Amino acid sequence: MKRRELKLLGIVITIFLFTLMIGRAA
């Protein structure tokens, strides 16, 4: 896996977890 893809994957996971936490808090 390229470093660029790994970085993008990390961003996607972070956004997903962030949205999930907001969904639970709401």
What is the tens place of the pLDDT at every residue in 7-22? 999 999 999 999 999 9
Please give the C-alpha separations between residue 22 and each of 1, 5, 11, 15, in angstroms, as whole numbers.
30, 26, 17, 11
Give the domain ranges of the chain: 1-26
Residue recorded with tokens 């709401």: 26
CB neighbours of residue 15 within 10 Å:
10
The confidence band for 1, taking pLDDT boundaries of 50, 70 and 90, is low
The confidence band for 6, taking pLDDT boundaries of 50, 70 and 90, is very high
Cα–Cα distance between 23 and 12 in angstroms, integer?
A: 16
| pLDDT at residue 5 in the model | 96
